[in-house]
Amino acid sequence: MKFGADGLARGMRQVPSPNCDDRPPGTLATLLVVHAISLPPGHYGGDAIERLFTNRLDTAEHPYYREIAHLRVSAHFLVHRDGALVQFVPIGRRAWHAGVSTWRARARCNDFSIGVELEGCDDDAFSPAQYESLAALARALRTALPLRDFAAHSEIAPGRKTDPGPRFDLHRFLAALAAR
């Protein structure tokens, strides 16, 4: 996997999100933030996550969607349960995924991070294909960016966020990352 000068991964499915903007001048991504999402909660498959990140969520489709349709959020990438990757925001731009956040005494993590959503929830294990795709993506990002840290959303927003949850196996991810 390689990234072009436009910040897009070659050969990856692209679903452009309007929920992004420019990083502060001179700021590069040094942190990868791992999230988990399922829409509706606990359900997998479908395109609801893509519709949320592109402001096209149909509030009549599920009662939960009425609660979140006003949100203007995104991530750089989504890793589906089968390992398929989707890119929403070029890696040189700031995706709106972290919210109020701090990493190692540095606030506003969106400014200096890449957000990756795993299709899942706190209570379910992630699939082997997701770990492999996440590791391959992280390797490619480390080639394109000065990425040096990995954090869970819960680590950068403690008390506010719990994802990717206790079922995310950081050691498995790191082992897959080092395997190649």
Catalytic positions are 117
Give dist(CA 113, CA 83) in Å, integer: 21
Task: List beta partners, residue 59.
Answer: none
**HSE, side-chain direction, 13 A CA sphere, residue 6:** 8
What one-character-per-residue DSSP string does 137-155 give?
A: HHHHHHHHS---EEEEHHH
Q: Is 15 exposed, middle or buried (0-12, 13-18, 19+ CB in 10 A)?
A: middle
